[in-house]
Structure 1
Amino acid sequence: MVAIGHSNLDIFPLALGGNTFGWTSDESTSFEILDAFTAGGGNFIDTADSYTAFVDGNSGGESESVIGNWTAARGNRDDVVIATKVAQHPEFKGLTPKNIAAAAEASLRRLQSDHIDVYFAHTDSGDAPLVDTLAAFDSLIQDGKVRYVAISNFSADRVAEWLKVAHDNGFAAPVALQPHYNLVTRNAYESDLAPLAADNDLGVFPYFSLASGFLTGKYRVREDLEGGQPRKQLAKSYFTAKGLEVVDALSEIAEAHEEEIATVALAWLLHQPTVTAPIASASTISQLPALMAAPALTLSTDELARLDATSTAVSA
């Protein structure tokens, strides 16, 4: 188990992404995945109030509702750490104090909980001064509705500003950061955000940790990306000759360890000094074992060096 930054929350070092719940996983399948995740020692579940508004016929909040139904059915709310986010739900866009308060109440209802363990600002909407945004988050903490606040999709400059505003005004400091970070997307995080995370004891939860499935090895030829599924569209941005070299290196290392390619990609993230737990999602229960195996996989110095060298040429 590892601590989330300077919080008192201890978690299994693999976070289960809830973006598939209410999308590629119906409620029954989602329950199976959540049951298997917790049975395997997992306890951190990451979602957002906007999941899955991007799916035709959905309005947002579907993932939170599935998670809330599951914890209610299992009676295990106090056994799991739930993170959700505010700023992108169609009805609750932005980070104004009024919106944060209303969105939090809506999330609590869907989660069937009296508190959110980690509440992320999902995006830097810029529609309110940071001091007002932070005051609204702090009010939720003072009221016991949120335990800790965290940041996602903010630039390094804005994260630094957030930290200063919190310090200067006595607001609760953020405990975590959620950046876009994986073997084929490294530079933006490593050059600017990683030093801030290290200096301010922020737990780091990379999203797109498997590059929308590209780092599982299932997209090896252009024909594998045919079709209109959103995940395939996202994976196309990684599909280059250099990107495929990274997958080839992962494949060879995975074969040597008798592990899945995805396991090695996640293990590489866990070997990075600032990473607390990569976020990975599963649409079916069969995908979960490869994810859960990552924390136990130790990569050699030579293997890490090979992945670092191969991915440096492609990462943005």
Structure 2
Amino acid sequence: MIGARKVLGHSDLAVSGLCLGTNTFGWTSDRETSFAVLDAYVAAGGNFLDTADSYSAWVEGNRGGESETILGEWLATRGQRDDVVLATKVSEHPEFKGLAPKTVAAAAEASLRRLGTDHIDLYYAHFDDEQTPLEETVGAFEELRAAGKIRAVGLSNYTPERIGAWFEIARRTGASLPVALQPHYNLVHRRDFEAGRRAVAQQEGLAVMPYFALASGFLAGKYRRREDLDGAARAGMAGKYLSESGVRVLDTLDEIAQRLEVEMSTVALAWLRTRPQVLAPIASARTPGQLPALLAGAQLELSAQDADALTAVSHDMEN
């Protein structure tokens, strides 16, 4: 079973220590498999689901919203809406690009329809929209919150400066303060978060949910050689880490995992949980068989020595 739940930032949301990413739903996981993954995750005590309105518009024949649609069908079938904390995002759906107020309002309504719910627990601004005045975007999110359509606000892929600006506007206008930050962060991609976002997350008490927590499967040890990337759906993303320094990270992960008798992905997720402000790493399971190692990452407590070894070996990664 997954570990105890913790309060998400300054919100009233209590979440499990592993957030289940659902970007594979409607992409590499069909409806039946997605249902099986969700059933297994919830049965193990998980309650935190992450999606976006744009998942998976990048797949040929998809239009965006496929992941939300599958989630909505599962929620309707299982009747477990009140048992989960549901997070989704806005700004990248092909029909709802950007964060202008009318776009945010329309995108939120579309997400609510696909998810089959009257509220979203955590609503992220997915990518910054510098063409829209930030005051307008903050106001659009606050209108949704005041209407009861969202419970809490999150930011993803924002620079430290723009995160700070959002907080300044929210405080000045009386809008709700963001409670969550979703950055790209893992053992082989550290600089983006640690160079500035970590400091603002600590200053503002933001709960951090790193995405690409396993570097598109690289940190699970799936790709040790160039040949391993052939035909892989995420070859382009994982392949950039296949370097001498990346292999050294894998070797250290492998040594610790073998000694502790766990999977490499379990150790990689456990390391993230040792980092300041990180509450629940986001990881996706294409099949139910991939779940146990991820769930174990929410429970494993690394020794200081093992955590420090991973921090040291990953320090020189170019990312």
TM-score bracket, shorter-length normalisation: over 0.9
Amino acid in structure 2 at the alignment position of 1:25: S
C-alpha distance in structure 2 between counterparts of 1:277 and 1:309, whole Å: 22
Gaps of 5+ in 1: none
Matched, 1:186 2:190: yes
Q: Give the aligned partner of residue 43 of structure 2.
A: 39
Q: Which residue of 2 is the match for residue 21 of structure 1?
A: 25
2:64 matched residue in structure 1 = 60
Answering whether residue 259 of structure 2 is matched by residue 241 of structure 1, we say: no
SS of 2:169's partner is helix
Residue identity opposite 2:276 in structure 1: P
Q: Does 1:310 align with 2:310?
A: no
In the TM superposition, 1:167-178 aligns within 5 A as 167-178=171-182
State percent identity of aligned pairs.
55
* Counterpart amino acid of residue 88 in structure 1: E
Deviation at 1:191, TM superposition (A): 2.0
The one-letter amino acid of 2:296's match is: A
User: 1:169, 1:64 → 2: CA distance?
Assistant: 32
1:221 and 2:256 aligned? no
TM-superposed CA distance for 1:100, in Å, is 0.1
Pair 1:153-2:153 in alignment: no
Question: 1-side partners of 2:130 and 2:72: how far apart?
Answer: 30
Output the CA distance in 2 between the equivalents of 1:43 and 1:179: 20
Q: TM-score if structure 1 supplies the norm length?
A: 0.98
CA RMSD between the two structures: 0.8
Q: For residues 218-297 of structure 1, what are the structure 2 equivalents within 5 Å? A: 218-227=222-231, 229-297=232-300
Matched, 1:51 2:55: yes
> Is residue 30 from structure 1 mapped to residue 27 from structure 2 by the alignment?
no
Aligned length: 315
**Cα drift, residue 301 of structure 1:** 1.3
Residues in 1 aligned to 2:139 and 2:233: alpha-carbon distance in whole angstroms: 36
State how far apart, in whole Å, the 2-side matches of 1:231 and 1:183 are.
17
Report Cα offsets for 1:188-208 as digits up to 9, x if no partner. Answer: 211201111111111100000
Whole-angstrom CA distance in 2 between matches of 1:18 and 1:127: 29
SS in 1 for 2:152: strand
Correspondent of 1:106 among 103, 110, 134: 110
Query: 1:243-280 CA deviation, whole Å, 9 max, x = no partner?
Result: 01001100000001100000000000011121010000
* Secondary structure at the counterpart of residue 16 of structure 1: strand
Report deviation, 1:315: 4.8
Asked whether the equivalents of residues 183 and 315 of structure 1 are also in contact (C-alpha less than 8 Å), the reply is no
Between the aligned partners of 1:282 and 1:70, the Cα distance in structure 2 is 16
Cross-structure match for 2:8: 4
Tell me which amino acid in the other structure corresponds to 2:125.
A
CA distance in 2, matches of 1:256, 1:138: 49
> Which TM-score applies when normalising by structure 2?
0.98
CA distance in 2, matches of 1:83, 1:67: 11
Residues 13-67 of structure 1: per-residue CA shift (max 9 Å, x gap) = 1000010001111011000000000010100000000001010110000000000
Tell me the distance in 2 between the aligned counterparts of 1:123 and 1:306.
33
Structure 2 unaligned blocks of 5 or more: none
Distance 2:79 2:131 in 1: 38
* Partner of residue 203, structure 2: 199
Deviation at 1:230? 4.0
Q: Indicate if the aligned counterparts of 1:186 and 1:315 stay in contact, CA closer than 8 A.
A: no
Residue 97 of structure 2 corresponds to: 93
Contact between 1:29 and 1:284, CA under 8 Å: does it hold in 2? yes
